[in-house]
Chains A and B, each alone.
Chain A
Amino acid sequence: RVSSDGKPPKFQPPPKPVIIDRKTRKEERRFLSPEFIPPRGRTDPLKYYIERKDMIQRRKVFNIPEFYVGSVLAVTTADPFASDKSKRFVGICIQRGGKGLGATFVLRNVIEDQGVEICYELYSPRIQAIEVLKLEKRLDENLTYLRDALPEYSTFDVNMKPVPRMDQEEIPVNKLQVRMKPKPWSKRWERPKYNIKGIKFELPEHKMKAAQKWSQPWLEFDMLREYDTSKIEEKIRKELSEELEK
């Protein structure tokens, strides 16, 4: 570079920083709550559309965070019979059921050696706050087998601090294999109908083989049971993103 004679070199501004906008990438893979997906049936889609409008109205006023079965939540509800008119319950989400406004989730915790489960309705006006203390997934969609597992797997500290989580797209999957109490259990979890991967079965080999007698390997190929939700999900996602931006 040749400097000009006698004068200081011309001021070169520093190169502009390249800003990679990650927001557009995030919106592509957003989480869609399972209660928005309508069940398979012959009801008029207008009914689900109206319900979704009500659900979006509620979500605008009250924030329902993203959570999965297996994450630890703390829920504060309004109760006229509690001190300070509100009560807080911490627990692990065992199952999420129901579609539309009646969507529920069950939280389980063991307090003073007593297992307690509470079924909350997501869109109930009595709920004042939902906090996700630990966001993670487990190997199964339904953790009802925790009732027959050793109580240490369902105990969570009531004053647990929320686990800090960076705004990544990956949700950690906890591959914990739970140890069970001795049989009898409330349901025969070793049977292939439940398809549970999160239990460490310490049963003898012949019992595990005998349980496979009830397997129905033709079920996964049954075409009448297929329900492809990808297109419905995309439509609902578009609808949601439009309505929530208003």
Chain B
Amino acid sequence: SITGACRAIQKLTRVRVVDNSALGNTPYHRPPKCIHVYNKTGVGKVGDKILLAIKGEKKKALIVGQKMPGPTMTPRFDSNNVVLIEDNGNPIGTRIKTPIPYTLRRREGEFSKVLAIARNFV
């Protein structure tokens, strides 16, 4: 069953890993789920870091796209997209094919390495 209504990312949301890392792309009988959002509120929007449970491991990730409509002129994606990240901010994968919103460029300092491997921007 798929919950359609709740659109921003909080604990226990199933997410879609978007980069080409081995951890994100190997099939597993359970989908990757969010277990913690590093935010004052427990709700994660685009540009927030979360803790993911993938293949029985804990991994940090960065939210790159969400189903919830944000401010006007920002894109709204059809799935909650996430990029796997290390603790210091280095991405694990080497390429991101799916489009990434331009608003992430605002925080060029923290996410420069993730933005460097991104191909398309929306």
Contacts and interface: CB of A to CB of B under 8 A. Distances in A.
Q: Do A and B come from one complex?
A: yes
B102 A118 contact: no
Interface residues of A, number: 23
Interface residues of B, number: 24
Contact of A118 (B4, B76, B81, B105): B76
A82 B99 contact: no
A186 B4 contact: yes
B20 to A, nearest CB: 13
Interface of A: 77, 79, 81-82, 87, 89, 104, 111-121, 124, 126, 147, 184, 186
A124 B103 contact: no
A49 B39 CA distance: 45
16 contacts: A81-B106, A111-B98, A111-B120, A111-B122, A113-B98, A114-B77, A114-B81, A115-B79, A116-B77, A116-B78, A118-B73, A118-B75, A119-B69, A119-B72, A121-B72, A124-B73
Interface of B: 1-2, 4, 65, 69, 72-79, 81, 97-99, 102-103, 105-106, 120-122
Contacts of A112: 97-99, 120
A225 B121 CA distance: 45
Contacts of A116: 75-78, 99, 122
Given A87-B121, A111-B120, A112-B97, A117 B76 contact: yes
Which secondary structure dominates chain B's binding surface? loop
Contacts of B78: 114-117, 147
A119 B73 contact: yes
B19 to A, nearest CB: 13
Nearest to A158: B120
Most buried by B among A81, A89, A113, A120: A81
A184 B121 CA distance: 30
A184 B106 contact: no
Contacts of A184: 1-2, 4
A126 B102 contact: no
A89 B4 contact: no
Contacts of A121: 72-73
B76 to A, nearest CB: 5
Nearest to A110: B78
Contacts of B103: 81
B22 to A, nearest CB: 20
